[in-house]
Structure 1
Amino acid sequence: MTWNQQIVKKNNKALVLQLIMEKEPISRADISQVSGLHKATVSSLVNELLQEELIYESGPGASSGGRRPVILHFNKVTGYAIGLDIGVNYVRSVMTDLKGNIVNERNEIVKETPYPAILHLVQSMIQSLMDEMPASRYGIVGIGVGVPGIINKEGSVLLAPNLHWKNIDLKKDLEEMFHVPVIIENEANAGAFGEQQFGAGQDFKNIIYISAGIGIGVGIILNMELYQGSNGFSGEMGHMIIDMNGKKCSCGSNGCWEAYASEHALLEMTENEDSLESLIQRADDGDEKAKALFEKIGYYLGFGINNIINTFNPDQVIIGNRLAMAKEWIQDPIRQTVENHTLAFHQQEVQLEFSHLKNYSTALGVSAFVVENFIKEEAKMA
């Protein structure tokens, strides 16, 4: 087989696998029709995928006149992915099958974030999930980690101001520990991808995902593709200036959006309040002071969202991460601010939503990156 033939075969195999993943249950004849590939080519590639246990057959489907076709399915339990979301006050980890269904998880609240301590915690969480993993052909196909900071294309954490991390090679450390592929991604990018794949963004092409936690990050999906900028540093909109002479931010600048609209900003405004959860409980119980604090945060979130809508003209803005838990009290001031300040022709188009995945957007997003990478690599094995 020539080099060109090998490339064509790999591409065709990837196409067949993608069609089965997206359109299952599906027959060989349907794959041939949709893809335009010859029936014999489809049959040969399907046989390879069956041998590799990436797909499986089930009983005959409905007949359209001739012999009833054998139906093909994607084998979502032939391997598993691990996704982690490292926050300033929590670490969340999930194990998913290859379709993104959570089969196990671990969650820890953290008070301090020095890198050695977080690395040790991450290692023990991953090991714990692996110890309980169901038997499968491929086992753990990879590990994905979402970090609130600036990540380069090589997977190094250049700066995570709210974690107090600088020049951290998390990818290398985890690959040396577990000997599987590791993907490190900005947590807001991962959250955007998670919502696009499994959550609120499934029906939209241009999505802005706002990760509102201790800090604020933004994930940008343009025309169905994650936009990462020339070096992978896009989306640091928590650090756009909304007050030139404003409050000091963890990044070293003054007047950043996240200094006014984040969970950290909310907790700074409280009197001896130590958690978002307790504030939500107070608001639930009818405490007017707590409701007023959420309203203030909602207005500040709205100002930043206004700037983002005017800049990107997206189909949808999704608010996620921990502040989304306060949806009941922040959504009206956000909408009111957007209505009062966003250019009118944007307002008619944009859908403002809260995360459907709750606090799982980032963990599921990095897990989906891992699966996508595994599927690409396996499809190349022609």
Structure 2
Amino acid sequence: MNMKENRTWNHHVVKEGNKSLVMEMIKNESPISRAAVASQTGLNKGTVSSLVADLMDDHLIYESGPGVSSGGRRPVMLLFNGSAGHSIGIDLGVNYLLGILTDLEGNIIEKKELNFKNHSYEEIEKKLFEVIDLLTSIAPPSPHGIIGIGVGVPGIVDTNGSILLAPNLNWKNVNLKTVIETKYRLPVIIENEANAGAYGEKQFGVGQESENIIYVSAGIGIGVGLILNGSLYKGANGFSGELGHMTIQVDGPVCRCGNQGCWELYASEQALIAKAAQLNLPVPAKQELELTTLISLAENGNQEIITLFEEVGDLLGVGINNIINTFNPQQVIIGNRLASSNRWLEESLNKRVSKQALWFQQNDLQISFSELSTLSAALGVSAFSIENFISVRMQPKSFV
């Protein structure tokens, strides 16, 4: 690279950084004036005005009416344009598929959920396309249209978005990212659903005030997402958080992952259903024994089922206690489908943690159940897609 090319490259890098800085300020602080952006970023007013013009040309921000005056003429205010495009977030579970359409601020415009059982990869792929097609068709008109698709999956995903192993789906080495990108010609992000759920809670849920969060995704299996010092921790190759497969019973039953005595065999939706199947329950012959059925029985006062929920809550506490003693978090959030059973899980879970967690680990510790419930992971991957889109738009126009 010669000196002239180097100067040009450095100019692009500086402009991209400044544009990102201005964009982030407006997105987080809107409505905000140009003068306030300049003051808070340390950039001169001419630079801010030029970058604001670029962002307005790209429909990412817009002007509103005058703000409050500090003595002179009332300033024109700048706002982030959340309607400039839309993102699709998919939570691909073992026995369900939840898709959401959001604007660029994460507001849910539409959602669609499908339930299934023991489907092949081909059958799930077909349902995935159905949901994406539906959400795309009902997206309101916008300057940028659908800006990306994010998919959270219950398995090990590498940093390139390849699904190395999803034991509860019986998937191994599945490149779903390439499949979706080829079909829709859109940027696609594939992420572990617990990582996505942790990020969803940090951005939009009960974790917004905490910097160190353990998110426990309790569905058919158990996944764990880690927010450490305010950032999602994924490990060297993206494989962190597989704590559903930590051993809590030596020589216990064999898990689909190949190990024995994994936590998810005792404290998950599949564990609850397996235990309930051993009881003589008043379930109609044609009705599937599933979580919604058990919740209905518990709501109607079936003490056997309530006791099973309490046992699962206790065993959730066993694993959570181990995680607390390892990471010393501010907050533990229980999400995914079992979070809707919190009224029967909470007491036994908290009792186990207070009994066994080291006393100094419990200082300032908050244990919460997700208010987003099954939406956390879908919101998380939608947010990843939005951030990727905005990052690309921050590049100089000749690079976009």
Q: TM-score, normalised by structure 1?
A: 0.99
Consecutive unaligned residues in structure 2, runs of 5 or more: 1-6, 284-288
Alpha-carbon distance between aligned partners in 2 of 1:222 and 1:380, rounded to the nearest angstrom: 29
Deviates more, 1:244-253 or 1:208-217: 244-253
2:345 corresponds in structure 1 to: 330
Q: Equivalent of 1:251, from 243, 248, 257?
A: 257
Deviations for 1:299-357, whole angstroms, at most 9, x for unmatched residues?
A: 10000000000000001000000110100000000100000100000111211001121
Tell whether 2:77 aligns with 1:99: no
Alpha-carbon distance between aligned partners in 1 of 2:119 and 2:93, rounded to the nearest angstrom: 9
Alpha-carbon distance between aligned partners in 1 of 2:27 and 2:173, rounded to the nearest angstrom: 38
Alpha-carbon distance between aligned partners in 2 of 1:381 and 1:290, rounded to the nearest angstrom: 59
Alpha-carbon distance between aligned partners in 2 of 1:170 and 1:381, rounded to the nearest angstrom: 30
Give how far 1:5 is off.
1.6
**Cα contact 1:213–1:323 (8 A) shared by 2:** yes
Q: Which amino acid aligns with 2:275?
A: M
**Cα contact 1:113–1:164 (8 A) shared by 2:** no
2:219 corresponds in structure 1 to: 213
2:174 corresponds in structure 1 to: 168
Deviations for 1:227-283, whole angstroms, at most 9, x for unmatched residues?
A: 000000000000000011112211111110001001000000013661111111111
Tell whether 2:50 aligns with 1:35: no
Tell whether 2:393 aligns with 1:378: yes
1:347 corresponds in structure 2 to: 362
Alpha-carbon distance between aligned partners in 1 of 2:396 and 2:141, rounded to the nearest angstrom: 23
State the number of aligned residues. 382
Tell whether 2:239 aligns with 1:224: no
CA RMSD of aligned residues (A): 0.9
Give how far 1:3 is off.
1.6
Q: TM-score, normalised by structure 2?
A: 0.94
Give how far 1:112 is off.
2.2
2:330 corresponds in structure 1 to: 315
Deviations for 1:22-41, whole angstroms, at most 9, x for unmatched residues?
A: 00111001101110110111
1:287 corresponds in structure 2 to: 302
Deviates more, 1:107-116 or 1:180-189: 107-116
Q: Equivalent of 2:266, from 260, 268, 275?
A: 260
Alpha-carbon distance between aligned partners in 1 of 2:71 and 2:51, rounded to the nearest angstrom: 25
Alpha-carbon distance between aligned partners in 2 of 1:291 and 1:129, rounded to the nearest angstrom: 37
1:147 corresponds in structure 2 to: 153
Give how far 1:287 is off.
1.0
**Cα contact 2:12–2:396 (8 A) shared by 1:** no
Alpha-carbon distance between aligned partners in 2 of 1:63 and 1:335, rounded to the nearest angstrom: 51
**Cα contact 1:212–1:323 (8 A) shared by 2:** yes
Identical aligned pairs, as a percentage?
Answer: 53
Give how far 1:139 is off.
0.5
Q: Which amino acid aligns with 2:20?
A: A
Alpha-carbon distance between aligned partners in 2 of 1:236 and 1:184, rounded to the nearest angstrom: 16
Alpha-carbon distance between aligned partners in 2 of 1:381 and 1:301, rounded to the nearest angstrom: 49
Alpha-carbon distance between aligned partners in 2 of 1:46 and 1:315, rounded to the nearest angstrom: 38
**Cα contact 1:114–1:165 (8 A) shared by 2:** no
Tell whether 2:366 aligns with 1:366: no
Alpha-carbon distance between aligned partners in 2 of 1:381 and 1:121, rounded to the nearest angstrom: 38
1:9 corresponds in structure 2 to: 15
Q: Equivalent of 1:44, from 33, 41, 50?
A: 50
Deviates more, 1:279-288 or 1:232-241: 279-288
**Cα contact 2:65–2:77 (8 A) shared by 1:** yes
Q: Which amino acid aligns with 1:225?
A: S
Give how far 1:204 is off.
0.3
Tell whether 2:314 aligns with 1:302: no
1:275 corresponds in structure 2 to: 290
Consecutive unaligned residues in structure 1, runs of 5 or more: none
Alpha-carbon distance between aligned partners in 2 of 1:54 and 1:235, rounded to the nearest angstrom: 35
**Cα contact 1:248–1:255 (8 A) shared by 2:** yes
Deviations for 1:68-122, whole angstroms, at most 9, x for unmatched residues?
A: 1000000101100000001111000000000000011111001123111111111
Alpha-carbon distance between aligned partners in 2 of 1:305 and 1:257, rounded to the nearest angstrom: 10
Alpha-carbon distance between aligned partners in 1 of 2:368 and 2:20, rounded to the nearest angstrom: 34
